[in-house]
Amino acid sequence: MTVNLTELTLKEIYDLSKKVLEFNGCDEENANAVAKTVTHAERDGSISHGLFRIPGYVAALKSKKAKGNASPSNIFLTQNAIRVDGDYGFAPTAIKVGLPALVDTTNKHGVGVLTITNTHHFAALWHETEALAENNLIGIACTAYMPSVAPIGATKPLFGTNPICFGTPTSSKVPFILDTAVSVINRGKIRVAARTGKKIPKGVALDKFGKPTTDAKKALEGVQLPIAEFRGSGLAWMVDILSGVFTGGNHAGRVKDPFDDFSGPQNIGHLFIVIKPNLFVGNYNQRIKENIKRIKRLPKIKGVKEILYPGQSKSRRYKINLKKVINIPKNILEDLKKLDA
Collect all residues with Cβ–Cβ distance below 8 Å to 125 and sequence separation of at least 6: 141, 142, 143, 163, 164, 165, 179
Which domain does 30 fall in, by range?
5-183+226-281+320-337
pLDDT at site 36 = 95
Same domain, 20 and 141: yes
Flag whether 303 is in a domain.
no
Q: What are the backbone dihedrals phi and psi of residue 64, each rounded to the nearest 5 degrees, phi first?
A: 70, 15
Q: What are the backbone dihedrals phi and psi of residue 178, each rounded to the nearest 5 degrees, phi first?
A: -105, 110
- 134-138, 166-170, 281-285, 321-325: least confidently modelled range: 321-325
Flag whether 289 is in a domain.
no
pLDDT at site 2 = 58
Collect all residues with Cβ–Cβ distance below 8 Å to 267 and sequence separation of at least 6: 88, 117, 118, 119, 249, 250, 255
Same domain, 54 and 66: yes
Measured CA to CA, the distance from residue 24 to residue 180 in angstroms comes to: 31
Flag whether 211 is in a domain.
yes
Average pLDDT, the chain: 92
Dihedral, CA atoms, 214, 155, 271, 169, nearest 10 degrees? -40
Nearest alpha carbon to residue 75 among 109, 37, 102:
102
pLDDT at site 200 = 96
The answer to whether 250 touches 79, Cβ cutoff 8 Å, is no
Q: SS3 for 148?
A: coil
Same domain, 13 and 108: yes
pLDDT at site 79 = 96
The answer to whether 239 touches 144, Cβ cutoff 8 Å, is yes
Flag whether 297 is in a domain.
no
Over 60: is that where the pLDDT of 255 sits?
A: yes
DSSP assignment letter at 243: I
Number of domains within the chain: 2
Q: What percent of the chain has pLDDT over 70?
A: 98
Flag whether 105 is in a domain.
yes
Work out the average pLDDT over 152-177.
Answer: 92
Flag whether 259 is in a domain.
yes
Same domain, 57 and 204: no
pLDDT at site 82 = 98
> Higher model confidence: residue 218 or residue 155?
218
Same domain, 202 and 266: no
Over 70: is that where the pLDDT of 1 sits?
A: no
pLDDT at site 154 = 81
Flag whether 160 is in a domain.
yes
pLDDT at site 324 = 77
Over 90: is that where the pLDDT of 3 sits?
A: no
Same domain, 250 and 150: yes
Over 80: is that where the pLDDT of 19 sits?
A: yes
Same domain, 114 and 259: yes
Same domain, 11 and 26: yes
Same domain, 97 and 168: yes
Measured CA to CA, the distance from residue 6 to residue 193 in angstroms comes to: 17
Same domain, 49 and 173: yes
Rg (CA), the chain: 20
β-strand 81-90 against 111-120: which pairing, if any? parallel
Dump the DSSP string for 196-215: HT-B--TTSEE-TTS-EE-B
Over 70: is that where the pLDDT of 341 sits?
A: no
Q: What is the pLDDT of residues 197-236, one digit of tens each?
A: 999 999 999 999 989 999 999 999 999 999 988 999 999 9
Flag whether 307 is in a domain.
no
Collect all residues with Cβ–Cβ distance below 8 Å to 183 and sequence separation of at least 6: 148, 149, 161, 162, 204, 224, 225, 226, 227, 232, 236
Measured CA to CA, the distance from residue 237 to residue 230 in angstroms comes to: 10
Measured CA to CA, the distance from residue 288 to residue 77 in angstroms comes to: 32
Same domain, 260 and 271: yes
CB atoms within 10 A of CB 251: 24
- Residue 159: CATH number of its domain: 3.30.1370.60
Measured CA to CA, the distance from residue 204 to residue 141 in angstroms comes to: 24
Dihedral, CA atoms, 109, 103, 293, 323, nearest 10 degrees? -170
Q: What is the pLDDT of residues 281-333, one digit of tens each?
A: 999 999 999 999 999 999 999 999 999 999 999 888 877 777 678 888 888 89
CB atoms within 10 A of CB 317: 14
Over 60: is that where the pLDDT of 125 sits?
A: yes
With cut-offs at 50, 70 and 90, classify the pLDDT of residue 117: very high
Same domain, 24 and 132: yes
Work out the average pLDDT over 172-195.
Answer: 91
